[in-house]
């Protein structure tokens, strides 16, 4: 496999400017044709692909799930799903692709041999490290605010992988797919590399990683998301992609979901209303607060800070199923607060926006009227959301200016009214909820969509 080609151009979403890591030199421009950008989202259950036009609008998308009997730790399973997913897109659409970017699950790692073939199964993002000596070495070497610390450390997975006989490189999931498409050794991005210990401020693998026991030479070079990396090669052409299209440095699945919404200016927030409540805010400076589980991903010259509460849909589901929520929602009075002061948790413990491992759920008193009880739960989560964005601002992020919403709760209009009353900023529609669409935004050439 070849090393990354020297390329220029590139674009990241509006509100941020393209910037490299110092590893590339501007020498050429992207090929000129009616442009489409391709984003590939390698997820936990399958692969999604989206094609976006110059305005960032999705013009085509496809998804392929992993077969039920497939080994999801086998990188070849990911590759076969990518191939099948692209084959499901129209050939004429793929022929118009000028740029490609890939996202993957944050923290999923694999080892490769000298020829680029996987050595054994990947270690997935949710596989804890059971080797106490590795965790202890990282804890001793890493700064206190490093995301590489703890049982879920991606750096710990990398150290485990480097010990496998025959391993000559250690990559992240997205790096592996991107490397195959371009026929290169492998390049990572600052988002996927963050939990492996990469320093996105200094834009380098820090010296302490070696002290923790990792051979840094086995880790890939790192670029900012949206940086041009290489032209695609012959293998990509067999999938219907132009060989002269450009591979751009990608991102994690979580960052891709944020980008898909269209959020682009400092102060733009994205709330995920799923089983838990996850907040992400675009900021002009990094924000780090380990006690709250807050860290920042770099997107060009701006940052994506976020935190996750244990409150959310799972707490509501203890009392109401989806059918009951649909039935009760028309009975809610979102403009008339109940006055109930709930903190909906499924069990004691909270880290963000309150750092209290003993915090008990607060779900009393329960009114006899189920509609009022449901509204109280929704109000409680909305209050936690508002406090979360205020907490980010207290820690150095800009004040909230708008919110876009993803997740199952996004469709509940009554909840949106309750949240708007708490947040006191516009609730804007998400351009897309496809992570692949957000990744594709990183692959739009500089002269379009600016």
DSSP assigned state of 318:
T
Residue 152 has pLDDT above 90, yes or no: no
pLDDT tens digit sequence for 19-56? 333 333 333 444 445 789 999 999 989 999 999 999 88
- Whole-angstrom Cα distance, residue 316 to residue 270? 21
pLDDT of residue 8: 34
The third-level CATH classification (topology) of the domain covering 263-430 is: Nucleotidyltransferase; domain 5 (3.30.420)
Residue 130 has pLDDT above 60, yes or no: yes
Residue 63 has pLDDT above 70, yes or no: yes
Sorted by sequence, the CB contacts under 8 Å of residue 223 that are 6+ apart come out as 20, 21, 23, 24, 187, 188, 189, 190, 229, 249
Contact present, 118 and 112 (Cβ < 8 Å): yes
Least confident interval from 28-42, 66-80, 217-231, 310-324: 28-42
- The DSSP bridge partners found for residue 298 are 303
Contact present, 80 and 20 (Cβ < 8 Å): no
> Minimal CA–CA distance to 168: which of 222, 114, 108?
114
Q: How far is CA 18 from the centre of its chain?
A: 19
Q: Sketch the domain layout of the chain as residue ranges.
A: 36-255+436-441, 263-430
- The DSSP bridge partners found for residue 396 are none
User: Average pLDDT of the chain?
Assistant: 90
CA distances 242 to 52, 75, 100, 233, 446, Å, are: 16, 24, 10, 8, 19
CA distances 306 to 268, 289, 293, 335, Å, are: 12, 10, 8, 29
Are both 36-255+436-441 and 263-430 of the same fold?
Answer: yes
- Whole-angstrom Cα distance, residue 26 to residue 273? 41
pLDDT tens digit sequence for 349-372? 999 999 999 999 999 999 999 999
DSSP letters, 327-386, are HHGGG--TTS------B--SSS-B-SSS-BTTPPPB--SPPS-HHHHHHHHHHHHHHHHH
pLDDT tens digit sequence for 264-284? 999 999 999 988 999 999 999
Structure tokens at 207: 């010296």
Whether CATH 3.30.565.10 fits 36-255+436-441: no
Long-range pairs, 326-331, Cβ under 8 A, ≥24:
328/370, 328/371, 328/374, 329/374, 329/412, 329/413, 329/414, 331/371
Contact present, 275 and 313 (Cβ < 8 Å): yes
């Amino acid at each position: 496999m070849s090393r990354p080609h020297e390329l220029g151009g590139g674009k990241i979403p509006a509100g941020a400017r393209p910037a490299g890591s110092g590893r590339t030199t501007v020498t050429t421009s992207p090929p000129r044709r009616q442009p489409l950008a391709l984003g590939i989202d390698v997820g936990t259950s399958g692969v999604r692909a989206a094609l976006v036009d110059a305005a960032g609008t999705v013009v085509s998308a496809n998804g392929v799930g992993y077969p039920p009997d497939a080994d999801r730790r086998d990188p070849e399973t990911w590759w076969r799903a990518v191939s099948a997913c692209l084959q499901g897109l129209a050939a004429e659409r793929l022929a118009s692709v000028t740029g490609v970017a890939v996202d993957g699950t944050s923290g999923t790692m694999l080892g490769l041999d000298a020829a680029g073939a996987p050595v054994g199964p990947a270690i997935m993002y949710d596989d804890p490290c059971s080797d106490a000596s590795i965790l202890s070495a990282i804890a001793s070497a890493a700064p206190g605010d490093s995301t590489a610390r703890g049982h879920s450390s991606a750096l710990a997975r990398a150290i485990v992988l480097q010990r496998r006989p025959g391993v000559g490189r250690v990559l992240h999931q997205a790096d592996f797919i991107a490397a195959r498409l371009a026929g290169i050794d492998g390049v990572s991005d600052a988002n996927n590399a963050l939990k492996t210990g990469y320093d996105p401020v200094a834009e380098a693998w820090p010296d302490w990683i070696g002290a923790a026991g990792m051979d840094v030479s086995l880790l890939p070079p790192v670029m900012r998301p949206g940086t041009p990396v290489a032209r695609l090669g012959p293998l990509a052409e067999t999938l219907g992609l132009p060989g002269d299209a450009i591979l751009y440095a990608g991102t994690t699945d979580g960052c891709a979901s944020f980008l898909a919404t269209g959020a682009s200016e400092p102060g733009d927030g994205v709330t995920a209303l799923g089983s838990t409540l996850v907040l992400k805010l675009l900021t002009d400076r990094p924000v780090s607060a380990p006690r709250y589980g807050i860290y920042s991903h770099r997107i060009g010259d701006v940052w994506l800070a976020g935190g996750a509460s244990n409150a959310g849909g799972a707490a509501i589901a203890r009392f109401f199923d989806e059918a009951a929520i649909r039935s009760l929602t028309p009975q809610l009075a979102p403009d008339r607060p109940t006055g109930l002061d709930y903190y909906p948790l499924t069990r004691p413990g909270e880290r963000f926006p309150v750092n209290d491992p003993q915090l008990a759920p607060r779900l009393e008193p329960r009114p006899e009227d189920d509609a009022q009880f449901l509204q109280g739960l929704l109000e409680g989560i909305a209050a936690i959301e508002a406090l979360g964005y205020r907490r980010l601002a207290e820690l150095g992020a800009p004040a909230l200016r708008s919110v876009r919403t993803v997740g199952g709760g996004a469709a509940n209009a009554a909840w949106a009214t309750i949240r708007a009353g708490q947040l006191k900023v516009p609730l804007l529609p998400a351009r897309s909820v496809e992570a692949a669409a957000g990744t594709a935004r990183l692959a739009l050439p500089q002269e379009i969509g600016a």
